[in-house]
Amino acid sequence: MRINEIFRSVQGETSSAGLPTIFVRTGGCNLRCTYCDTPYALTTTGSIHMTVGAIMHEVRKLKTKRVCLTGGEPLIQPRQEVQELLDLLAAEGYEVSIETSGSIPIAAFGLHPKQRWILDMKVPSSGEMEKMKFESLTELRPEDEVKFVVGNYADFRWSVELIKMYDLDGKVQLIFSPVWGQVTPLQLTEWALDTGIDARVQIQLHKIIWHPETRGV
Ligand code: SF4
């Protein structure tokens, strides 16, 4: 599969925020979100082809038992290779999160007990909301996470309606995250508290620790 970078840092988001994590970033994405903060991973330019064995070799060297498979969009890589990587990571005891945009149906992938989805549902201001495969929301387990990166109040209301429509509150982990520089953490926190939904408000930790444009962190 195409790999853009493999590095160790702290997880900036999700329920693993702050914990040491190995990031396996694939190259290429089928979407073009307005607020994309990984433009260098949108195409395969700058990525290399790696076998699953070679990826595992790099992961083992980083001596951390937590992996985030991210992109770009990891699920546009050959399905069998993605599954093989998940199987090998499970066999070697890694905890794994898979960050996917919600545009690729997740039902075709088999997750192991210490593996979970981070489904980044694209809201209207992303420009890619029409490409979401909403049926994936019915495939989620309690440990899976659904993230809404909110760029304005209309995005937030849309997210709340989707949560209600699919009855997600209390059934999966929910995250509201502000588009960096467009919605303040205070605004988002006030909106979130006002709904009564049991969701996590999340600021991207790595953008606070390092400069927001810094790569490989
Ligand atoms: S899905 Fe992620 S990587 Fe792809 S364009 Fe959107 S924000 Fe960027």
Whether residue 162 is contained in a domain is answered as: yes
Residue 122: domain span: 2-209
Query: Which residues in the chain show pLDDT less than 50?
Result: none
Look at residues 66, 18, 21, 72 and name the one whose alpha carbon lies nearest to residue 206.
18
Whether residue 216 is contained in a domain is answered as: no
Per-residue model confidence (pLDDT) at position 105: 95
Whether residue 82 is contained in a domain is answered as: yes
Q: For the chain, what is the domain count? A: 1
Q: Give the residue, by CA position, lying nearest to ligand 1 atom 7.
A: 36
Q: In sequence order, what are the residues at sequence separation of 6 or more whose Cβ sits closer than 8 angstroms to the Cβ of residue 110? A: 83, 86
Q: Please tell me what DSSP assigns to residue 37.
A: S
Is residue 10 within a helix (H) or strand (E), and if so which, with residue range? strand 2-10
Whether residue 110 is contained in a domain is answered as: yes
Whether residue 103 is contained in a domain is answered as: yes
Per-residue model confidence (pLDDT) at position 211: 79
Whether residue 156 is contained in a domain is answered as: yes
Is residue 67 within a helix (H) or strand (E), and if so which, with residue range? strand 66-70
Per-residue model confidence (pLDDT) at position 209: 85
Q: Give the residue, by CA position, lying nearest to ligand 1 atom 6.
A: 33
Alpha-carbon gap, residue 163 to 198, rounded angstroms: 11
Whether residue 214 is contained in a domain is answered as: no
Per-residue model confidence (pLDDT) at position 214: 77
Per-residue model confidence (pLDDT) at position 208: 82
Whether residue 217 is contained in a domain is answered as: no
Single pTM value for the model: 0.94
DSSP conformation letters of 153-214:
HHHHHHHHHHHHHTT-BTTBEEEEEEPTTTS-HHHHHHHHHHHT--EEE---HHHHHS-TT-
To 10 degrees, the CA torsion angle through 74, 160, 129, 188?
A: -80
Alpha-carbon gap, residue 150 to 22, rounded angstroms: 26
Per-residue model confidence (pLDDT) at position 217: 73
State the closest ligand 1 atom to the C-alpha of 149, by its place in the atom list counted from 1.
Answer: 7
Per-residue model confidence (pLDDT) at position 136: 97
CATH number at residue 29: 3.20.20.70
Q: Give the residue, by CA position, lying nearest to ligand 1 atom 2.
A: 72
CB 66 within 8 A of CB 17: no
Structure tokens at 198: 């049991």
State the closest ligand 1 atom to the C-alpha of 126, by its place in the atom list counted from 1.
Answer: 6
